[in-house]
Amino acid sequence: MSSLIAEKFILLLCKSLAITGLLLYVLSTLLFNQPFDLFPPSTHKFSASNPLSNAPTNITHLVFGIAGSVNTWIHKKPYVETWWQPNITRGYLFLDRAPPEDFLPWPSSLPPFQVSQDTSKFEVYSKHVMPLVIRIARMVLETFREENEGVRWYVMGDDDTIFFVDNLVEVLARYDHTKYFYVGANSECVKSNFDHSFDMAFGGAGYALSYPLAAALATNLDGCINKYPYLYVSDQILQSCLADLGVSLTQEKGFHQIDLHNDISGLLSAHPESPLISLHHLDAVDPIFPSMNRHQSINHLMKATRADHSRVLQQTICYHKQSNWSFSISWGYSAHIYESIFPRSILRKPLETFTPWKKTRSPSYMFNTRFLSNDPCEAPHVFLFDSIENTTKDHIVMSYIRTWPRGLPVCELNGNHSADSISKIQVISSRKHGEGERRRECCDVVPVVTKNVTEVKFRTCMKIEE
Ligand X SMILES: *[C@@H]1O[C@H](CO)[C@@H](O)[C@H](O)[C@H]1NC(C)=O
- Check: CB of residue 417 under 8 Å from CB of residue 410: yes
Does 108 bind ligand X (CB under 6 A)? Our answer is yes
Between 133 and 347, CB nearer to ligand X: 347
Find the binding residues for ligand X in span 22-51 (CB under 6 A): none
* Cα-based torsion angle of the residue sequence 105, 107, 111, 117 in order, rounded to the nearest 10 degrees: -10
- Check: CB of residue 147 under 8 Å from CB of residue 90: yes
Shortest gap between Cβ of 179 and ligand X (angstroms)?
17
Options 21, 35, 41, 86; binder of ligand X; rule CB under 6 A: 86
Between 158 and 339, CB nearer to ligand X: 339
Between 35 and 107, CB nearer to ligand X: 107
Between 324 and 353, CB nearer to ligand X: 324
Options 33, 42, 47, 87; binder of ligand X; rule CB under 6 A: 87
Between 84 and 228, CB nearer to ligand X: 84
Find the binding residues for ligand X in span 308-337 (CB under 6 A): 322, 324
Stretch that binds ligand X, among 55-63, 222-230, 287-295, 343-351 (CB under 6 A): 55-63
Between 228 and 385, CB nearer to ligand X: 385
CA distances from 412 to 89, 236, 324, 406, 421 (A): 54, 53, 11, 15, 16
Options 71, 72, 109, 120; binder of ligand X; rule CB under 6 A: 109
Options 1, 4, 5, 52; binder of ligand X; rule CB under 6 A: 52
Between 285 and 398, CB nearer to ligand X: 398
User: x-or-dash pattern for ligand X, window 346-385, by CB under 6 A?
Assistant: ----------------------------------------
Find the binding residues for ligand X in span 387-426 (CB under 6 A): 389-390, 397, 410, 412-416, 421, 423, 426
Of 447, 389, 390, which Cα lies nearest the Cα of 422? Answer: 447
Of 200, 206, 184, which Cα lies nearest the Cα of 83? Answer: 206
Shortest gap between Cβ of 60 and ligand X (angstroms)?
5
Shortest gap between Cβ of 410 and ligand X (angstroms)?
6
Between 360 and 418, CB nearer to ligand X: 418
Q: How far apart are CA 66 and CA 50, in angstroms?
A: 31
Does 173 bind ligand X (CB under 6 A)? Our answer is no
Does 20 bind ligand X (CB under 6 A)? Our answer is no
Strand-pair partners of 337 = 327, 381
With contacts defined by CB under 6 A, how many residues of the chain interact with ligand X? Answer: 23
Q: How far apart are CA 202 and CA 404, in angstroms?
A: 35
Question: Which residues, at least 6 apart from 195, have a Cβ–Cβ distance to it below 8 Å?
Answer: none
Options 16, 20, 34, 60; binder of ligand X; rule CB under 6 A: 60
Residue nearest to ligand X (CB): 415
Between 120 and 387, CB nearer to ligand X: 387
Give the residues lining the site for ligand X (CB under 6 A).
52, 55, 58, 60, 86-87, 108-109, 322, 324, 389-390, 397, 410, 412-416, 421, 423, 426, 452
